[in-house]
Chain A
C-alpha cells in the first residue's frame, strides 16, 4: 500500500495544482467580466469549488446514479469479456469460424457507438436494464476479442513446436501453451475495457434510461446545473480509474507469476 501511495502522490499533487490554478484563473476572469458587466462564467464552466459544492448538495443522487450505472456496466463488462474470451478460444480451435467472422468483427468495431446505442435501445426497449448492459457489453467485447486474437497469433513458433512435438491436440495447444502466454495481454485488454464499459453504460443511459449517471448528466445539462454535471464527470472518472486498479489487483492475486514476467522484475 505504501508503495502505491508513493507512486500516486505526484499525480495527486499535479491534479491539485491544476484545480488550484483553475480556481484562481476563473475567479480572476469572473471578476473582470463582472466589472465589464458581462455574465459570470459560472453558468458555463463551474470552478472546482462550485463543483465541490454541487457534489455535496447532490451527493445522494450522484451516489445512487453511480451505483445504478456501475451495476449495468459490471454486467456489460462481465458479459462482453466472457463472450470475447470464449469466442477468441473458438477462433483458435475452429479457424474457419475465425476466417468468416473476424472481418465482420473489425467492421462492427468501427461503427460509432453513438449510432449503435440508439439501435440497441430500440431493440431491447426504452428504459430497460438489458439495453444498457448490451451497449456496455458491445463496447467491451470487441477490443478484448481483437486483442486476444492478435495475442494468440503472436505466440512464437518455438512455443508451438514444443506442443506440436508432443502431439498436443488443438485444445491442449490453446490451454497449455497459448493461453498462458496470452493471459497478460488479456488482462491489459481488461484494464482498457473496464472504463470503456462504464462509458458504454453512460451513453446507453444518456439515450434510453431514466436512471443512472448518464441520465443525471442530461438532467444537469437541461436544468443548467453545471456543478452537478462536472461532479458527475469527476465521479465517473474516479470510478473508472478504480476499475483499472481492481482488475490489476485481481491479476496480482490470481496470477502472481505475471508480475515476474514484467521486464522491470526480471533478474
Chain B
C-alpha cells in the first residue's frame, strides 16, 4: 500500500526527519549508512583462511568511524567486502540499506586507497574526470568544485609526477568524493606521509568532512590518527579479525590541532591503547 505523499516525501519519512531534528543528539533515530551484521569472511582456495569473524558494526550518517588494529587483522579485507569486491562467507553488509554491489552501482561508495594511484597520462583534472567518465556523468563542474575543496584548483593542469606526496593524496581525496558518495572508505590514507604533513592533511580532511557531513569509515594503524579523526574507534584483534572494543571518542567535534594536546584527547588515546593491550 502506498503511504500518503507530501511532495515527494512520504509522511512517515517526513515525521522521522522532524523527529531526528528534534532529537538533536545522534541517537536512536539517526540513519546508519553502513551496517554490518555477523560478518564472516574466509578467503583462499581449498584451505580457506578465516580473515574476519563475527563483525557487527554500524556507522551513523555524518560520522567518522576509525578501525584500528595490528597489520594483517583483516582491515583491508573488510573494506574490500564493503565495496563488494569480496563476498561475505556469512553475515550481511548494507550500505545505506542496500547490498554493496548495488550501492556501488548507485555510486554510493567512495574509496581512498593508501597510495594516491593517479593515472600518469592524466592531469589532476583528468584524474578526477576519469571517475565521471566511467560513471557516464556529463557534469564536469564538479571537478572544479572538488579541486576548490582540496585547495588544488591552481594545480588542475599538473601531471601526477609534478605533485608532492601531500598534493597527490589530496587529489585522491577529491577523486573519492567526486561522486558525492554516501560512504567514504579510507584505507590508511595518510600513512605514507611524513608526520607534519600528515597532521596538516588530517586537519584539512576534517574540515572537508564536516562541511560535506560525509560519513567515513577509516582504516588506520595509528592510535593518534584514529582518536583525532574518529568519533568512534573500533579496535580489531589480530587474525582472524574480530572487534575487541568500541571506544567512543570524547573530544568536541570541532577538532583543531590544539586538541592533540588536550586532556580529553590523551584520555581517549589511553582508552584505545588499553584495549589494544599495548
A36-77 CB contact bits vs B (8 Å, 1 = yes)? 000000000000000000000000000000000000000000
B190, chain A: closest CB distance, angstroms: 16
Bound: A258/B161 CA distance, A: 10
Bound CA span A181–B105, Å: 25
Docked-complex contact B83 and A265, CB < 8 angstroms: no
CB of B105 within 8 A of CB of A167, answer: yes
Give the CA-CA distance A260 to B119 in the complex, in Å: 12
Q: Which residues of B contact A161 (CB under 8 A)?
A: 80, 83, 85, 111, 113
Q: How far apart are the CA atoms of A165 and B80 in the complex, in Å?
A: 10
With A158-B117, A257-B121: A165-B135 Cβ-Cβ less than 8 Å: no
List of A residues within 8 angstroms of B163 by Cβ? 267
Answer whether residue A223 sits at the interface, using C-beta atoms and an 8 A cutoff: no
For A265, give its contact among B85, B161, B175 (CB under 8 Å): B161
- Interface residues of B, count at CB 8 A: 29
Q: Say how far B181's CB is from chain A's closest CB, in angstroms.
A: 9
Establish whether residues B115 and A158, one from each chain, have CB atoms under 8 Å apart when the complex forms.
yes
Docked pose: A180 CA to B120 CA in angstroms: 7
**Given A167-B135, A176-B130, A260-B159, A158-B113 contact (CB < 8 Å):** yes
Shortest beta-carbon distance, A215 to chain B, in Å?
43
B85 touches A255 (CB 8 A): no
Instruction: Pick the contact of B120: A158, A166, A172, A260 (CB < 8 A).
Output: A260
Closest to B113 in A: A158
A177:B119 contact, CB within 8 angstroms? yes
Chain B nearest CB: distance from A130 CB in Å?
A: 36
From A169, which residue of chain B is reached at the shortest CB distance?
A: B134
Provide the bound-state CA to CA distance between A177 and B164, in Å: 22
0 or 1 for each of A156-177: is its CB under 8 Å from B? (1 = yes): 1011011111111000100011
Q: Is A3 part of the binding interface, using a Cβ–Cβ cutoff of 8 Å?
A: no
With A176-B130, A260-B161 as known contacts, state yes or no: A255 contacts B121, CB within 8 Å. yes
Question: Residue B134 contacts which of A168, A183, A257, A267 (CB distance < 8 angstroms)?
Answer: A168
Q: Which residues of B contact A156 (CB under 8 A)?
A: 117
Nearest B-chain residue to A180, judged by Cβ? B121
A261-B120 CB under 8 A given contacts A165-B111, A267-B164: yes
Total interface residues in chain A, CB < 8 Å: 25
Q: Which of B85, B117, B119, B122 contacts A164 (CB 8 A)?
A: B85
Is A266's CB within 8 Å of the partner chain B?
A: yes
Given A161-B85, A162-B111, A177-B119, the answer on whether A167 and B134 have CB atoms closer than 8 Å is: yes
Q: Residue-by-residue, is B95-132 near A (CB-CB < 8 Å gives 1, otherwise 0)? A: 00000000011010101011101011110000000110
Residue of B nearest to A179 (CB): B121
- The answer, yes or no, to whether B133 is at the interface (CB within 8 Å) is yes
Partner of B119, one of A180, A255, A265: A180
Decide if B161 touches A166 in the complex (CB within 8 Å). Answer: no
State which of B85, B114, B134 has its C-beta within 8 Å of the C-beta of A166: B134
For A184, the closest partner residue in chain B by CB is: B120
Cross-chain contact of A165 among B83, B119, B159, B161 (Cβ < 8 A):
B83
- Could you tell me the distance between the alpha carbons of A168 and B105 in the complex, rounded to whole angstroms? 10
Chain A residue numbers with a CB within 8 Å of B113 are 158, 161-162
Q: List the B side residues contacting A177 at CB < 8 Å.
A: 119
> How far, in whole Å, are A258 and B122 apart by their CA atoms in the complex?
11
Shortest beta-carbon distance, A220 to chain B, in Å? 47
B162 contacts the other chain (Cβ, under 8 Å)? Answer: yes
The distance in angstroms between the C-alpha atoms of A267 and B162, with both chains bound, is 6
Among A162, A165, A181, A261, the residue within 8 A (CB) of B104 is A165
Cβ A180 vs Cβ B117 within 8 A: no
Contacts of A267 in B (CB 8 A): 161-164
Across-interface contacts of B159 in A (CB, < 8 A):
257, 260
A198, B68: Cα distance in complex, Å: 59
A183 to chain B: which residues have CB within 8 Å? 121
Contact B109 A165 (CB under 8 A): yes
The CA-CA distance from A211 to B51 in the complex, in Å, is: 67
Residues of A within 8 A of B (CB): 156, 158-159, 161-168, 172, 176-177, 180-181, 183, 255, 257-258, 260-261, 265-267
Can you list 8 pairs linking A and B with CB atoms under 8 Å apart? A158-B115, A159-B119, A163-B134, A176-B133, A255-B121, A258-B121, A260-B120, A267-B163
B residues adjacent to A (C-beta < 8 A):
80, 83, 85, 104-105, 107, 109, 111, 113-115, 117, 119-122, 130-131, 133-135, 159-164, 175, 179
Which A-B residue pairs are the 6 nearest by beta carbons? A180-B121, A166-B134, A260-B161, A158-B117, A261-B120, A158-B113
